[in-house]
Amino acid sequence: MLISIVIPCYNVEPYVEECLESCIGQSFSKDDYEIIVINDGATDGTLDKINGFIATHDCPNLHLYNQENRGLSATRNRGLSMAKGDYVWFVDSDDFIERNALSQIGEMIRSYNQPNLVVLNTVMVEIDGKRSVVDRQLSQVESDGRFVFVNSYIYPYSAVQFYVYNRQFLQDNGFTFKEGIYFEDCLFTPLVLSRATRCVYLSKPAYIYRLRANSITTSSISEKKLHDMKCVAEELNRQIDDPRALFKDILNDAACRNFEVLFRYYILKSDRSLQRKYLGMVNAEGVWKSLLPGSRIKHKVYYLIMRIYALFRG
């Protein structure tokens, strides 16, 4: 079997049927792929929609599993542990994929002799229904993780659904999703790219990404999110010392970007008490400062701004 599609589902009643329809409606042999659907304790009508879909469609390669709510990372990890395909694609249940996506991905895998990753483009569907291609515009079909990161690590391409992973490569490196945190993709993707020596780029969009008003990236600030974003940056910093990381500058830059986002979009928009708390934690523990020798000028400037801002807020 070539590809396993892993679809975690939690409270996506309005969208899950379209997602499943796009996955079973592929111009690709059903013997060559499986669809692993995991209901992560949904409390709306998601499970009813999935069961109804299975009852009315011919989908022998679709397998449904139910569990108590464990969160996105734990659910992806379970799907990864059950996957039988040579490659794994984590598809979000409120998104969908192009009809010829698997045929095109399969052709890339076979033509380029089992790469570590297939790197995808996407079409973004905004809240108002407007569609736009978010084009990476990579100049090379074959490259490594550093080239992909440096040239196309832009929003929304920190997310894991825009990559198809060689399952053996993930297993050999012990890659799983860190459980219990937000922004797990901002940790997983740079780690994978830091060790990927063989990436191939599919320029034609294969994934349809739906931006929802109540998604993690668009919902309100919370202390939990602030804490988790800081944890991601700290873990990336720790991983720089791992000898398996071939492109350590990726990890340094990704960690600095997290601190930049933490400061610009979370700390500055939070109330004064949280500002003081998190500015103090970031400065006192010195994680960002330890990254500065290898960081870009932009991030050094942000660090200085943060220190000055902390003085006035103290």
pTM: 0.93
pLDDT in tens, the chain (314 residues): 999 999 999 999 999 999 999 999 999 999 999 999 999 999 999 999 999 999 999 999 999 999 999 999 999 999 999 999 999 999 999 999 999 999 999 999 999 999 999 999 999 998 877 889 999 999 999 999 999 999 999 889 999 999 999 999 999 999 999 999 999 999 999 999 999 999 999 999 999 999 876 544 445 677 888 889 888 988 999 999 999 999 999 999 999 888 888 788 777 877 777 777 777 766 656 777 778 788 888 888 878 887 787 777 65
Tokens of 144: 């490594």
**Cα–Cα nearest to 131, from 201, 226, 205:** 205
| Dist. CA 309–CA 109, nearest whole Å | 49
